[in-house]
Structure 1
Amino acid sequence: MKLIGLNREEVKAALKNEKVTIAVYGMGKMGLPLAAVFAEHGAKVIGVDINEKVVEMINRGENHVKEEPGLDELVRRNVEAGRLKATTDGVWAAKQADVMVILVPTLTDERGNLKLDPVYDVAEKISRGLEKGDIVITEATMPPGTTESLIPILEKSGLKLGEFGLAHAPERTMTGTAIRDITGQYPKIVGASDKKTLEAVIGIYETINRKGVLPMSSIKAAEAVKVFEGVYRDVNIALANELAVWCEEHGLDALEVFQAANTQPYCHLHMPGAGVGGHCIPVYPWFVINLAKKTNPRLTKTAREINDSMPHHVVELTVKALNEAGKPVKGSNILVLGLTFRGGVREFMKAAAKPIIQELKEWGANVYAYDPLCTPEDAKRFGAEWKEDFNDIDAIIITADHREFKELDFERLVKEMRSKVIVDGRNVLEPLKVENARFIYKRVGLDPQIPR
Structure 2
Amino acid sequence: MSDSQTTTESIALYNSDKSVDEQRAALTNGAVPVAVTGLGKMGLPLAAVYSETTKNVTGVDIDSSVVEAIENGDCHITGEPALADLVAELVDDGALTATTDGVEAARNARVHVVIVPTLVDENDQPILSVMDSAMSTIAEGLEPGDIVIAESTLPPRTCVDRLLPLLERESGLSREEFGLAFCPERTSSGRALEDIRGAYPKIVGGVDEESTRVAELIYGEINSNEIIPVSDATTAEAVKVFEGVYRDTNIGVANELALMTEELGIDVTEAIEAANTQPFCHLHIPGAGVGGHCIPYYPHFLMGPFETDTPVMRAARETNDEMPRYTANHALDGLHAEGVDPEDARVLVLGLTYRPGVNEIEKTPALPLIEELDAAGASVTAVDPVNTHTEPFEKAGATLVSMDELSTYDACVLVTPQAAFEELSIPALGDSDRRLVLVDGRQELKHLRGHDSIHYRGIGINV
Q: 1:402 is matched with which residue?
A: 418
What corresponds to 1:178 in structure 2?
Answer: 192
1:136 Cα deviation after fit: 0.6
Unmatched 5+ stretches in structure 2: 1-10
| 3-state SS of paired residue (1:304) | helix
Alignment correspondent of 2:6: none
Q: Which residue of 2 is the match for residue 142 of structure 1? A: 154
Q: CA–CA distance in 1 between the matches of 2:420 and 2:398? A: 20
Question: What is the CA deviation profile of residues 299-341 of structure 1, one whole-angstrom value per residue up to 9, with x for unaligned ones?
Answer: 1111111111111211221122112222121221111112211
Looking at structure 1, the residues matched to 129 and 431 of structure 2 have their Cα atoms a distance apart, in angstroms, of: 54
Aligned partners of 2:97 and 2:106: how far apart in 1?
14
Aligned CA distance change for structure 1 residues 335 and 418 (closer, same or farther; 3 Å) = farther
Larger mean CA deviation between 403-412 and 131-140 belongs to 403-412
Which among 71, 78, 88 is matched to residue 66 of structure 1?
78
- Tell me the residue number matched to 2:214: 200
State the Cα distance separating 1:145 from its structure 2 match. Answer: 1.5
Q: Please give the residue correspondences for 1:267-286 in structure 2 after superposition, counting only pairs within 5 Å.
A: 267-286=281-300
After superposition, the Cα gap between the structure-2 partners of 1:275 and 1:8, relative to the gap in structure 1 and judged at 3 Å, is: farther
Instruction: After TM superposition, give the deviation of residue 9 of structure 1 in Å.
Output: 4.3
Distance in 2 of aligned mates of 1:446 and 1:111? 34
Separation in 2 of the partners of 1:69 and 1:382? 32
- Using a 3 Å threshold, how does the CA distance of structure 1 residues 154 and 292 change in structure 2: closer, same or farther? closer
| Equivalent in 402, 407, 427 of residue 391 of structure 1 | 407
Name the stretch that deviates more: 269-278 or 112-121.
112-121
Distance 1:331 1:253 in 2: 31
Instruction: State which of 239, 263, 266 in structure 2 corresponds to 1:249.
Output: 263
Question: 2:125, 2:305 within 8 Å by CA — same for their partners in 1?
Answer: no
Q: In the TM superposition, what is the alpha-carbon distance from 1:55 to its structure 2 partner?
A: 0.4
**Structure 2 CA distance, aligned partners of 1:341 and 1:358?**
16
**How far apart, in 2, do the equivalents of 1:150 and 1:305 lie?**
31
SS of 1:47's partner is strand
Q: State the 1:374 CA deviation.
A: 2.5
Normalized against structure 1, the TM-score is what? 0.94
Q: Percent identity?
A: 46
Conserved? CA contact 1:393–1:417, under 8 Å: no
The aligned amino acid for 1:325 is: E
SS in 1 for 2:35: strand
- Is the contact made by 1:68 and 1:175 (CA closer than 8 Å) also made in structure 2? yes
Flag the 1:330–1:447 CA change in 2: closer, same or farther, 3 A.
Answer: farther
1:7-46 equivalent positions in 2, closer than 5 A: 9-46=21-58
Secondary structure of the corresponding residue to residue 249 of structure 2: helix
1:435 partnered with 2:450:
yes
Could you give the per-residue CA deviations for residues 130-167 of structure 1, whole angstroms, max 9, x where no partner exists? 11100011111111111221223212222112101111
The verdict on how the C-alpha distance between 1:402 and 1:10 changes in structure 2, with shifts beyond 3 A counting, is: farther
What number of residue pairs does the alignment pair up? 446
Residue in 2 that maps onto 1:191: 205
Corresponding residue of 1:219: 233
- Tell me the residue number matched to 2:250: 236
Residues 8, 400 of structure 1: alpha-carbon distance in 2 compared, 3 angstrom cutoff? farther
Shift of 1:438: 3.1
Contact 1:244 1:254 in 2 (8 A): yes
- How far 1:416 sits from its partner (Å)? 7.9
1:356–1:8 CA distance, 2 compared to 1 (3 A): farther
Q: For the residues of structure 2 that align with 1:416 and 1:131, how far apart are their CA atoms?
A: 73
2-structure distance, mates of 1:203, 1:171: 16
Stretch deviating more after TM superposition (114-123 or 126-135): 114-123
- TM-score of the aligned structures, taking structure 2 as reference length: 0.92
Which segment drifts farther, 410-419 or 160-169? 410-419
